[in-house]
Amino acid sequence: MDTPLDARRVRNPGQTREKILDAAQVLILDHGFSATTVDAVVGRAGITKGAFFHHFPSKSDLGRALVERHAATDREHFLAQLARAEKLAADPLQQVLLLIGFYEEEFDAMEEPYPGCLFASYIYEHKLFDDGTLEILKDAALFWRAQMKAKLEQVMAAYPPNRAVELDSLSDLFYSITEGAFVMTKTLGDKTMLSRQTKHLRTYLELLFAK
Amino acid sequence: MDTPLDARRVRNPGQTREKILDAAQVLILDHGFSATTVDAVVGRAGITKGAFFHHFPSKSDLGRALVERHAATDREHFLAQLARAEKLAADPLQQVLLLIGFYEEEFDAMEEPYPGCLFASYIYEHKLFDDGTLEILKDAALFWRAQMKAKLEQVMAAYPPNRAVELDSLSDLFYSITEGAFVMTKTLGDKTMLSRQTKHLRTYLELLFAK
A8 pLDDT higher than 90:
no
Please state, for a pLDDT cut of 90, what percent of chain B lies above it. Answer: 92
Residue B64 and residue B43 share a domain? no
Nearest residue of chain B to residue A177 (CA atoms): B177
pLDDT at A170: 98
Where among A15, A38, A57 does a domain terminate?
Answer: A57
pLDDT of residue A40: 98
Cα distance between residue A23 and residue A45, in whole Å:
5
| Same domain, residue pair A112 and A157 | yes
From A208's Cα to the closest Cα of chain B, the distance in A is 7
Q: Which helix (H) or strand (E) holds B35?
A: none
Q: What does the pLDDT look like over A39-76, one tens digit per residue?
A: 999 999 999 999 999 999 999 999 999 999 999 999 99
Quote the minimal CA–CA distance from B171 to chain A in Å.
10
Chain B residues whose CB is inside 8 A of the A168 CB are 196
Q: Are residues B53 and B63 in the same domain?
A: no
Category of B32 on φ-ψ map: left (φ > 0), alpha (ψ -120 to 50) or beta: left
pLDDT band with cut points at 50, 70 and 90 for residue A11: low
What pLDDT sits at residue A61?
Answer: 97
Question: In chain B, pLDDT over 70 holds for what percent of residues?
Answer: 95
Cα(B107)–Cα(A197) distance, rounded to whole angstroms? 22
Q: Do A165 and B34 touch (CB under 8 A)?
A: no
Q: Examine the domain organization and report whether B17 and B44 are in the same domain.
A: yes
Does B74 lie in the same domain as B28? no
Q: What is the per-residue pLDDT for B34?
A: 98
Instruction: Tell me the mean pLDDT in the region B64-93.
Output: 98
Query: What domain range is B45 assigned to?
Result: 1-57
Q: Residue A167's domain is classified under what CATH number?
A: 1.10.357.10
Residues from chain A that touch B178, judged by Cβ atoms under 8 A, are 180
Q: Do B183 and A179 touch (CB under 8 A)?
A: yes
Measured between beta carbons, the chain A residues lying within 8 angstroms of B181 are 176, 180
| Residues A97, A2 share a domain | no
- pLDDT attached to residue A2: 38
As a whole number, the mean pLDDT across chain A is: 94
Computed over every residue of chain B, the mean pLDDT equals: 94
Whether pLDDT at B9 is above 80 = no
Q: What pLDDT, in 10s, does the model give residues A85-124?
A: 999 999 999 999 999 999 999 999 999 999 999 999 999 9
Task: Write down the pLDDT at residue B14.
Answer: 83
Position A138 pLDDT exceeds 70: yes
Res B11: pLDDT: 55
At A76 the pLDDT is: 98
The answer to whether the beta carbons of residues A70 and A119 sit under 8 Å apart is yes
pLDDT at B130: 96
pLDDT for res A1: 37
Query: Does the CB of B172 have a partner CB in chain A at under 8 Å?
Result: yes
Minimum Cα–Cα distance from B162: chain A residue? A207
Contacts of A35 in chain B (CB under 8 A): 34, 125, 127-128
The Cα-based distances of A140 to A5, A24, A72, B39, B178 in angstroms read: 36, 20, 9, 35, 19
- Name the residue facing A197 among B141, B162, B172 (closest C-beta): B172
- ipTM attached to this prediction: 0.93
Domain count, chain B: 2
- CA–CA dist A53, A111 (Å, integer): 34
Domain end, chosen from B10, B29, B57, is at B57
- Identify whether residues B198 and B111 lie together within a single domain: yes
Last residue of a domain, one of A41, A57, A73: A57
Q: Does residue B170 belong to the interface with chain A, where contact is any CB pair within 8 Å?
A: yes
Inform me whether the pLDDT recorded for B106 exceeds 50. Answer: yes
Residues A18 and A85 in one domain: no
Whether A86 and A180 map to the same domain: the answer is: yes
In whole angstroms, what is the distance from residue B115 CA to residue A129 CA?
A: 17
Between B34, B187, B200, which is nearest A34 by CB? B34
Q: What is the CATH number of the domain that holds A20?
A: 1.10.10.60
CA distance A10 to chain B (A): 34
Residues A90 and A186 in one domain: yes
In which band, very low, low, confident or very high, does the pLDDT at A3 lie, cut at 50, 70 and 90? Answer: very low
pLDDT in tens, B127-155: 999 999 999 999 999 999 999 999 999 99
Q: How far is CA B13 from the centre of its chain?
A: 25
Alpha carbons B202 and B102: distance in angstroms, whole number: 11
> CB–CB of A56/A62 below 8 Å?
yes
Specify whether A96 is located in the same domain as A182: yes
Contact list, A120 vs chain B (CB under 8 Å): 120, 124, 183
Interface contact flag, A187 B31, Cβ < 8 Å: no
Q: Is the Cα torsion angle A11, A14, A18, A21 positive or negative in sign?
A: positive
Residues B80 and B164 placed together within one structural domain of the fold: yes
